[in-house]
Structure formats: C-alpha cells, structure tokens
C-alpha cells in the first residue's frame, strides 16, 4: 500500500532528475505537459503546463450572436456536451427571464443525466485502463455506447450534439424514446455492474488507487474543487441539491460522499453517481408531462413556419432572430450547473445587443490541474497516472 513519501533533500548530492511527461503522452488525456524533478522515482516538484488546446472560446463568443455560441459549447467538455448546451441555454434564459416549458425541462434533465453517466464511464473506464485493467475500459465503453446511441437518437450526433436552444430544445424526444431509454438503462446498469465486479476486489487495482492523490477536505475547498472530487473529499456539495435548477428539486436522489479524498474514493463516488443518475432518469421519464418542447417567447424563439410564410410579423420576427440573434436586456447573469466533473458555470454579460459582451465559462478542471503538484509531490512517478485519471481532465473545457 502506497502512502505519501515526504520530500527529503538528496543525501548523496546527486542532481535531481528532470523529466517531462507530455504533451503527447497517452496518460496525459490529450495535451498537458508536466515538468518534474525526480529523486529516484519520487516526485520532488511538478509544474503543469497547459494551453495546447486553447481555441479562444470567449473571443469567438464575443464575435458571435447569442444563438451561434451553442455549437461551441459542445466542444468544451466533449464527453458530456449536453450539460454544457443546457448550462449555456439556462444562463441566457436567465438574462431574458424566460423559462423553458416543463416538458423541455424534463427532457433536459434526462439528457443531462445521460451525459453525466457517459462522462463518469469515460473517466472511470480510462483510469482503470491506465492502471492495467483494459477489460473494464471495454465494458464501460460498451455501456457508454448504449447511451450515446440514445443521444444520437435525440440529437442526431454522438458528441457534437448542439441540442439545447435558448428557450427550449432543438426537438422533442422522438417517438418510442422512453421505451428505448428504459431498455438501454437496464443494459447499461448490467454492464456497469459487470465491469465493477471485475475490478473492485482486485488487489492490484485497489493498491494503485488507495491512499494515492489525497487532498483533504479543507485543501479541496481552498483549491476551489467542486463536483465528484469535492464529494470524494467528504463535502456533500452538489449544485443539483444546493441551487436546484430545471426540475431537480422534484427528483429523489442521494449524494454519495467519500471519506479520505483519494483516487479510490473518486472512483467509487463516480460509480455511485452513475446509479443515482439512472434513478433520476427513471423518475424523470415517469413524470414527464406532455406539452411543448420550446417556449413561445417572440424574443427568443422563431415563429412557426406557417407564420413565417403567412404574415409579415412572423416573417420579420424570423428574420430578426436569425440575422441579429436574440437580444437579451442589458445585464449580467451567472448560472451554475452540475457538470460531469464539477461546477460548470456560464457568466454572460449583455449590453442589449445581439452579441455578448462577455461569455465566460468556469472550467471546473482548471482547479484540479492547478492542484496536481500538491496531490503528486511525494508520490512515485507511476502514481501520476491514477491521480491524473481521477481528476477527469478534459482538455476542451480546461483550455476553452
């Protein structure tokens, strides 16, 4: 069982070894570079360097119309794009003061939770694979595939979903979707249990994760941790419960918390959240009311086709929304949602025009990568792999 080995000065006067991992390294989940100094295999210091995937999301957003930003939000956290879609839509809806109809909100909850499951499956599957359990990865990816087919059924794409809209969703859930959903959820549940059974009593796996990458409750809070990492450290902080949005206040679910905040806790918290998300989806599907999938506010939603082609007001509304974009009243709004790996929040500022003055997304994994040195120093170099796997760094969101 590994435990943190404190740094001590080198006894025999040798130079510490300088080593770089990344940016193109399979364990770096994309493109992050760590410059490290090693004493033997123990990490003495670490300096993460990011920015290889910076695309200028904010600059692009400031040069786009409000409704043109939606596809860019897919590319932030690309393993749970629907949560970003919905988060952005909710932030702009807050500016407008409009609300999506109840059915659209239930649909959003279902799609967000599906995304959360795929996010956690990707993270846990990949971190299991990186410590040697390839079969678990294959099992979790199989489970993820069931869900991505559901996402494809609704949005037409697996990753670049572009599904939420300001004031509603791009389309209603297709016919027969709820039956398909139940069937797929059962399959996913079964596959996840099978995958877990392979690994959760495996000594090699447990030894690699237990007591590795511990960050205490207090330090986690100070580092601005949110989401599964903060819950693994023992703080039951979940925005779905804390500041309920959509219809989460009508859902009955539990918030799993860990005890020590090590990599194993993070793994287990995510596994439990998958179960809770499945429960939420089942409740939402059962409670789903009939109705519209978008609001009828003329400021945000294009008129019906028969109005566009049938009368001048409809035509003008359509033209203005498409060409100028919806124009929120001047002001600012901050909307946090519970993303796959923490608080994803959009901070939008409007001056009353069709283009945002500022469209900022709070990246939850920025805090995690910033805390990597604190979690890694004193550990063996091999421990970077489970630690970095457990923080679920997503390059698109980290660097925007």
Residues that bind another protein (CB under 8 A): 7, 12-16, 18, 35, 37, 44-47, 50-51, 54, 56, 58-60, 62-63, 94-95, 97, 221-224, 226, 235, 237, 242-243, 331-334, 336, 343, 345, 347, 349, 357-358, 360, 362, 366-367, 369-370, 373, 377, 399-400
Min dist CB 341 to another protein, Å, is 15
Query: What is the sign, positive or negative, of the torsion defined by CA atoms of 108, 109, 114, 119?
Result: positive
Considering beta carbons, is residue 157 or 381 the nearer one to another protein? 381
Min dist CB 399 to another protein, Å, is 6
Min dist CB 12 to another protein, Å, is 7
Considering beta carbons, is residue 98 or 136 the nearer one to another protein? 98
Min dist CB 279 to another protein, Å, is 24
**Rounded Cα–Cα distance for residues 24 and 321 (Å):** 43
Min dist CB 398 to another protein, Å, is 9
Min dist CB 4 to another protein, Å, is 14
Considering beta carbons, is residue 38 or 178 the nearer one to another protein? 38
Considering beta carbons, is residue 64 or 118 the nearer one to another protein? 64
Min dist CB 104 to another protein, Å, is 20
Considering beta carbons, is residue 165 or 400 the nearer one to another protein? 400
Min dist CB 224 to another protein, Å, is 3
Considering beta carbons, is residue 54 or 305 the nearer one to another protein? 54
Considering beta carbons, is residue 97 or 156 the nearer one to another protein? 97
Neighbouring residues of 60: CB distance < 8 A, sequence distance ≥ 6: 69, 72
Min dist CB 367 to another protein, Å, is 5
**Residues paired with residue 33 on neighbouring β-strands, in sequence order:** 49
* Cβ(296)–Cβ(304) below 8 Å: no
Neighbouring residues of 149: CB distance < 8 A, sequence distance ≥ 6: 158, 184
Considering beta carbons, is residue 23 or 307 the nearer one to another protein? 23
Min dist CB 222 to another protein, Å, is 5
Residue 56: count of CB within 10 angstroms of its CB: 12
**Rounded Cα–Cα distance for residues 142 and 391 (Å):** 22
The angle that helices 102-130 and 177-199 make with each other, rounded to 10 degrees, is: 20
Considering beta carbons, is residue 51 or 174 the nearer one to another protein? 51
* Cβ(77)–Cβ(340) below 8 Å: yes
Considering beta carbons, is residue 210 or 400 the nearer one to another protein? 400
């Amino acid at each position: 069982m590994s435990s943190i080995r404190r740094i001590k000065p080198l006894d025999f006067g040798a130079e510490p070894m300088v080593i770089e991992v990344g940016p193109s390294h399979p364990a770096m989940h994309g493109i992050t570079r760590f410059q490290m100094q090693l004493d033997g295999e123990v990490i003495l210091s670490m300096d993460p360097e990011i920015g290889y995937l910076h695309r200028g999301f904010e600059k692009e957003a400031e040069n786009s119309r409000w409704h043109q930003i939606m596809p860019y939000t897919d590319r932030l956290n690309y393993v749970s794009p629907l949560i970003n879609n919905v988060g952005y839509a909710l932030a702009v809806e807050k500016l407008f003061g409009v609300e999506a109809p109840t059915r659209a909100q239930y649909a959003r909850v279902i799609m967000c939770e599906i995304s959360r499951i795929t996010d956690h499956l990707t993270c846990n599957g990949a971190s299991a694979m990186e410590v040697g359990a390839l079969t678990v990865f294959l099992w979790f990816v199989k489970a993820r595939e069931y869900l991505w087919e559901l996402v494809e059924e609704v949005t037409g794409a697996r990753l670049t979903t572009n599904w939420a809209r300001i004031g509603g969703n791009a389309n209603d859930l297709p016919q027969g979707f709820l039956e398909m959903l139940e069937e797929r959820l059962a399959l996913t549940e079964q596959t996840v249990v099978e995958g877990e059974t392979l690994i959760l009593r495996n000594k090699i796996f447990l030894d690699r994760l237990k007591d590795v990458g511990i960050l205490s409750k207090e330090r986690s809070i100070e580092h601005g941790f949110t989401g599964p990492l903060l819950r693994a450290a023992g703080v039951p902080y979940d925005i779905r419960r804390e500041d309920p949005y959509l219809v989460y206040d009508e859902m009955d679910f539990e918030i799993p918390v860990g005890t020590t905040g090590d990599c194993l806790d993070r793994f287990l918290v995510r596994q439990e959240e998958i179960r809770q998300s499945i429960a939420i989806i089942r409740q939402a599907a059962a409670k789903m009311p009939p109705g519209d999938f978008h609001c009828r506010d003329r400021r945000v939603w294009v008129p019906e086709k028969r109005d566009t082609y049938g009368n001048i007001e409809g035509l003008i509304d359509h033209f203005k929304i498409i060409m100028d974009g919806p124009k929120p009243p001047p002001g600012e709004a901050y909307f946090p949602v519970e993303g796959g790996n923490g608080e994803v929040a959009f901070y939008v500022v409007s001056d009353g025009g069709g283009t945002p003055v500022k469209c900022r997304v709070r990246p939850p994994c920025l805090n995690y990568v910033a805390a990597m040195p604190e979690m890694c120093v004193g550990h063996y170099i091999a421990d970077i792999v489970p630690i970095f796997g457990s923080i679920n760094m997503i390059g698109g969101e980290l660097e925007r």
